[in-house]
């Protein structure tokens, strides 16, 4: 059986390439609102961050998330994103995957 290609994405905080399922997408909608997109399907400009808060803090410090989304982000929005991320955990691997 042919192996399926695993989509890889780069975390804007730690700049590591990881499988898409191990990251969470932050999206900027058409109206400029910034939110988490756990499914990765929301329309708008997106960037990926690791689930642990260190990468979000690093992205805030280096303004990497602002550059990726091409939009200034207020400190209150970073706090809101960090609070929302606390509730998410990565999807466990399906049976049969290594």
What is the mean predicted confidence (pLDDT) over 13-27?
A: 95
pLDDT at 62 over 70: yes
pLDDT recorded at residue 92: 57
pLDDT tens per residue across span 28-51? 999 999 999 988 899 999 999 998
**What superfamily would CATH give domain 8-86?**
YlxR-like (3.30.1230.10)
Q: Grade residue 89 by pLDDT with cuts at 50, 70 and 90.
A: low
Mean pLDDT taken over the chain: 89
Strand ranges inside the chain, DSSP E:
8-10, 17-19, 23-28, 34-37, 45-50
């Amino acid at each position: 059986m042919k192996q399926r290609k695993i989509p890889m994405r780069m975390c804007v905080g730690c700049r590591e390439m990881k499988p898409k399922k191990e990251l969470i997408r932050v999206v900027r909608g058409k109206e400029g609102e910034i939110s988490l997109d756990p499914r990765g399907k929301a329309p708008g400009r997106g960037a990926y961050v690791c689930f642990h808060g260190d990468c979000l803090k690093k992205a805030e410090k280096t303004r990497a998330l602002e550059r990726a989304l091409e939009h200034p982000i207020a400190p209150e929005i970073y706090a809101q994103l960090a609070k929302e991320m606390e509730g998410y955990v990565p999807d466990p691997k399906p049976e049969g995957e290594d």
